[in-house]
């Protein structure tokens, strides 16, 4: 996958760099670093068909090795960095990976590594579970799904398809060589990699890779790096709004992940400039995104138009039972640059025709498509239950409860049964200084929701359990609700 | 003075933040983040707001610097200095 070499000679400004706050390198230095890695791989006896598990983090050494492996057409299984001593494999790696690569920013004596000497920052370990009889697929990228609603799956992409995705993001977001891009989202996930990092590299923009970003680190890096573009999650947008004291204008910020609230969007635009939504998945890459050129009134309502090569349709079969819900449906996506399929730990395709009948991918998201072709995503489709013979969507319940004074955030999960059908439980976090009680919230629910959608139980908690990618861990919430309901600490 | 502030910060973290820690369990030399008390972004925002409330100070963006939040001893020193600076400014 030629992503670095295609433009490296055309960049007139030699000052554009990749940085992580500690280490940095200019684009002009990359070819020599790659040549040095070539020699190191030669010494190690690496073969073209070898597949690597790359433990990755938002650092320059990790980013360079990732770019190198893509550039030299190796197959890569990308996973987050784990904290362990180098050289040992404790993580359960798939059997098709021959090696694990871990990149260090510091030498053993604590000084920063020298990027000109790859042996100082790349650690290679053999995967003891590697099964050499496995025929390796070349030029593949393997990613794990987040597992927010189930067990994580291993997703296989072709480099060429990934490149199509990258070009789509460059065009839609109109990224430019003179942009300065802050990336506080992990580059081992499709959003951080396929929408943020690789498109920024593809135009030769300056990039600040931020590891373990929190409010304080982000503001510090912002002051030093002076970004004009940022890729964030809605939760981090919210954190920035709550924590930062002064306003700061960006050319644009991209937000992907769980839907961003209208109020947060408007507040963000007022304080930090243009906000663009991006919708996609580990399997499909970027499906739709807004454009910074679109007016705010459009960007606040919808995600944007589908990317090039994407076809969308809504399935309304199950939803037709509710008249009020007829204009929305479950979103299916056909993507020219989508994934090849799911694979098992031997790299073999897991054949399941339900996954993609006729190439159409079931996103399991509830959506609307406007007459102008804009996509609006309303929430998870499988996050719904049948009550009183009609579907109740958790996203609708969450939206209504958030309008109750004093409620900051709310997540609804299904638990047990009630007289209306499946039981629903709402977990709420109150605003600072609220005087809410669980009883008060439930009572207020009757004013903002139809009776069938009023949660059977309300629990006030201090904060939500989160997955490493920042999404709410709904499975843990379900476990919490089991525990809470069983202890009879109930509203009703 | 800093020691009093350190102890007050420990109480604030133990009683008002969702950390599942008692004041006695909090080490003033431990990092506030991943490799110490484990405060995430949301808890950090909350801590800043609680410090502003309890110590009647206001952080500027440039003072929201990880170096001041390295551990409770350093944070307490910052709070004491900030209080003193504010008092002088008020007098002037």
CA A103 to chain centre: 22
For residue A10, what pLDDT band results from cuts at 50, 70 and 90?
low
Q: Number of Cβ pairs closer than 8 Å across A and B?
A: 54
Burial of A194 (0-12, 13-18, 19+ CB in 10 A): buried
Spatial CA neighbour of A429 closest among A444, A409, A445, A443: A409
CA distances from A337 to A186, A287, A340 (A): 21, 9, 9
3-class secondary structure, A146: coil
* Proportion of chain A above pLDDT 70, given as a percent: 88
Alpha-carbon gap, residue A251 to A327, rounded angstroms: 34
3-class secondary structure, A233: coil
Closest chain B residue by Cα to residue A221: B65
For residue A435, what pLDDT band results from cuts at 50, 70 and 90?
confident
Q: Is the per-residue pLDDT at A77 higher than 90?
A: yes
Cα dihedral A486, A434, A269, B41 sign: negative
pLDDT at residue A321 in the model: 41
3-class secondary structure, A426: strand
For residue A490, what pLDDT band results from cuts at 50, 70 and 90?
very low
Q: Is the per-residue pLDDT at A489 higher than 70?
A: no
pLDDT at residue B21 in the model: 82
Residue A445: phi and psi, rounded to 5, are: -60, -35
Alpha-carbon gap, residue A157 to A167, rounded angstroms: 15
3-class secondary structure, B88: helix
Q: Which of A112-126, A170-184, A468-482 has the lowest mean pLDDT?
A: A468-482
Q: What is the DSSP string of A74-108?
A: -EEEEEE---S-TT---S---TT--EEEEE-SB-T
Alpha-carbon gap, residue B10 to B28, rounded angstroms: 8
A97 and A127 Cβ atoms separated by less than 8 Å: yes
pLDDT at residue A90 in the model: 57
Alpha-carbon gap, residue A253 to A274, rounded angstroms: 6
Closest chain A residue by Cα to residue B64: A216
pLDDT at residue A261 in the model: 79
Average pLDDT over residues A417-440: 86
Say which residue the tokens 């291993």 belong to.
A154
Alpha-carbon gap, residue B43 to B47, rounded angstroms: 6
A23 and A105 Cβ atoms separated by less than 8 Å: yes
Choose among B18, B49, B64: nearest Cβ to A216: B64
Q: Work out the number of other CB atoms within 10 angstroms of the CB of residue A91.
A: 13
Gap from B63 CA to chain A (nearest CA, Å): 9
Q: Is the per-residue pLDDT at A488 higher than 50?
A: no
Alpha-carbon gap, residue A412 to A55, rounded angstroms: 34
pLDDT at residue A473 in the model: 82
A380 and A146 Cβ atoms separated by less than 8 Å: no
Q: Is the per-residue pLDDT at A124 higher than 60?
A: yes
Paired strand residues for A429? A409
Segment A316-352, tens digit of pLDDT: 754 444 444 457 788 999 999 999 999 988 888 887 6
Residues 6+ apart with CB under 8 A from A321: A389, A390, A391
Q: Is the per-residue pLDDT at A113 higher than 90?
A: yes
Contacts of B39 in chain A (CB under 8 A): 214
CA distances from A464 to A276, A379, A395 (A): 25, 18, 16
Q: Is the per-residue pLDDT at B16 higher than 80?
A: yes
Q: Do B44 and A212 touch (CB under 8 A)?
A: no
Burial of B16 (0-12, 13-18, 19+ CB in 10 A): middle
Residue A294: phi and psi, rounded to 5, are: -75, 150
Segment A194-226, tens digit of pLDDT: 999 999 999 999 999 999 888 999 999 999 999
Q: Is the per-residue pLDDT at A296 higher than 60?
A: yes
Average pLDDT over residues A249-267: 88
Contacts of B44 in chain A (CB under 8 A): 214-216, 243
Q: Is the per-residue pLDDT at A98 higher than 70?
A: yes
Choose among B34, B48, B62: nearest Cβ to A243: B48
Q: Which of A53-62, A196-205, A463-472 has the lowest mean pLDDT?
A: A463-472
For residue A486, what pLDDT band results from cuts at 50, 70 and 90?
low
Q: Could you tell me the strand order of the sheet in which A99-103 lies?
A: A122-126, A99-103, A51-56, A75-80, A140-144, A154-158, A341-343
Q: Is the per-residue pLDDT at A146 higher than 80?
A: no
Half-sphere exposure of A254 (CA within 13 A, CB side): 33
CA distances from A425 to A360, A429, A467 (A): 33, 13, 20
* Proportion of chain A above pLDDT 90, given as a percent: 55
CA A1 to chain centre: 22
Q: Is the per-residue pLDDT at B67 higher than 50?
A: yes
Closest chain A residue by Cα to residue B20: A462
3-class secondary structure, A375: strand
pTM of whole model > 0.90? no
For residue A485, what pLDDT band results from cuts at 50, 70 and 90?
low
pLDDT at residue A349 in the model: 85
- Parallel, antiparallel, or unpaired: how do β-strands A310-315 and A180-183 relate? unpaired
Q: Is the per-residue pLDDT at A483 higher than 80?
A: no
pLDDT at residue B46 in the model: 87
- The larger pLDDT score, comparing residue A69 to residue A234, is at A69
Q: Is the per-residue pLDDT at A34 higher than 90?
A: yes
Paired strand residues for A158? A140
pLDDT at residue A288 in the model: 96
Burial B19-28 (b: 16+ CB within 10 A, else e): beeeeeebeb
Residues in chain A: 492
Closest chain A residue by Cα to residue B17: A462
Residues 6+ apart with CB under 8 A from A443: none
Average pLDDT over residues A136-146: 85
pLDDT at residue A199 in the model: 96
For residue B90, what pLDDT band results from cuts at 50, 70 and 90?
confident
pLDDT at residue A322 in the model: 43
Residues in chain B: 92
Q: Do A239 and B45 touch (CB under 8 A)?
A: yes
Residues from B contacting A (CB-CB < 8 Å) are 18, 33-34, 39-46, 48-49, 58-62, 64-66, 69
For residue B55, what pLDDT band results from cuts at 50, 70 and 90?
very high
For residue A252, what pLDDT band results from cuts at 50, 70 and 90?
very high
Q: Could you tell me the strand order of the sheet in which A329-335 lies?
A: A310-315, A329-335, A361-369, A375-380
Segment B19-46, tens digit of pLDDT: 778 888 899 999 988 778 888 777 888 8
Alpha-carbon gap, residue A146 to A281, rounded angstroms: 10
pLDDT at residue A324 in the model: 44
Q: Do A216 and B65 touch (CB under 8 A)?
A: yes
Mean pLDDT (chain A) is 86
Average pLDDT over residues A25-49: 94
Q: Do B34 and A212 touch (CB under 8 A)?
A: yes
A316 and A326 Cβ atoms separated by less than 8 Å: yes
Closest chain B residue by Cα to residue A463: B18
pLDDT at residue A91 in the model: 64
Q: Is the per-residue pLDDT at A166 higher than 80?
A: yes
């Amino acid at each position: 996958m030629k992503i670095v070499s295609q433009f490296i000679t055309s960049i007139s400004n030699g000052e554009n760099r990749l940085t992580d706050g500690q280490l940095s390198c200019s684009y002009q230095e990359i070819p020599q670093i790659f040549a040095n890695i070539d020699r190191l791989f030669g010494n190690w006896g690496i073969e073209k068909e070898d597949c690597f598990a790359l433990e990755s983090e938002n650092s320059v050494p990790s980013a360079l090795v990732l770019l190198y492996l893509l550039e030299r057409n190796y197959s890569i299984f990308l996973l987050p960095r784990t904290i362990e001593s180098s050289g040992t494999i404790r993580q359960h790696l798939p059997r098709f990976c021959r090696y694990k690569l871990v990149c260090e920013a510091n030498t053993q004596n604590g000084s920063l590594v020298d990027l000109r000497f790859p042996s100082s920052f790349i650690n290679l370990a053999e995967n003891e579970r590697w099964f050499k009889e496995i025929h390796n697929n070349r030029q593949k990228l393997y990613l794990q799904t987040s597992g927010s609603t189930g067990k994580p799956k291993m997703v296989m992409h072709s480099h060429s398809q990934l490149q199509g995705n990258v070009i789509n993001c460059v065009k839609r977001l109109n990224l430019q060589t003179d942009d300065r891009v802050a990336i506080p989202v992990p580059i081992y996930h499709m959003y951080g990699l396929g929408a943020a990092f690789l498109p920024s590299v593809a135009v030769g923009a300056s990039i600040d890779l931020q590891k373990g970003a929190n409010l304080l680190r982000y503001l510090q890096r912002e002051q030093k790096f002076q970004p004009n573009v940022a890729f964030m999650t809605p939760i981090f947008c919210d954190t920035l709004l709550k924590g930062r004291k002064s306003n700061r204008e960006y050319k644009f910020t991209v937000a992907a992940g769980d839907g961003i609230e209208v109020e947060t969007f408007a507040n963000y635009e007022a304080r930090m400039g243009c906000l663009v939504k991006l919708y996609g998945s580990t399997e499909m890459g970027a499906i739709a995104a807004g454009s910074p050129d679109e007016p705010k009134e459009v960007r606040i309502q919808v995600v944007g138009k589908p990317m090039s090569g994407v076809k969308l349709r809504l399935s309304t079969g199950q939803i037709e039972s509710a008249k009020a819900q007829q204009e929305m449906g479950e979103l299916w996506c056909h993507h020219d640059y989508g994934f090849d399929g799911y694979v098992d730990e031997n790299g073999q395709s897991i054949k399941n025709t339900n996954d993609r009948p006729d190439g159409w991918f079931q996103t399991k998201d509830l959506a609307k498509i406007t007459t102008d072709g804009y996509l609006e995503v309303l929430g998870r489709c499988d996050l719904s239950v049948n009550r009183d013979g009609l579907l109740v969507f958790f996203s609708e319940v969450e939206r209504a409860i958030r309008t109750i004074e004093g409620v900051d955030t709310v997540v609804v999960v299904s638990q047990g049964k009630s007289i209306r059908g499946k039981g629903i439980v709402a977990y709420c976090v109150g605003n600072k200084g609220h005087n809410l009680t669980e009883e008060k919230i439930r009572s207020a629910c009757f004013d903002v929701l139809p009776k069938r959608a009023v949660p059977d139980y309300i629990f006030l908690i201090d904060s939500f359990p989160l997955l490493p990618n920042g999404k709410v861990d709904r499975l843990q919430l379900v476990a919490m609700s089991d525990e809470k309901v069983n202890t009879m600490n109930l509203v009703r | 003075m800093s020691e009093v502030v350190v102890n007050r910060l420990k109480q604030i973290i133990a009683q008002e933040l969702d950390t599942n820690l008692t004041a006695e369990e909090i080490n003033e030399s431990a990092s506030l983040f991943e490799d110490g008390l484990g405060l995430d972004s949301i808890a950090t925002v909350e801590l800043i707001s609680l410090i502003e409330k309890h110590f009647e100070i206001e952080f500027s963006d440039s003072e929201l610097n990880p170096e001041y939040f390295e551990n409770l001893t350093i944070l307490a020193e910052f709070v004491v200095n900030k209080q003193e600076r504010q008092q002088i400014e008020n007098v002037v």
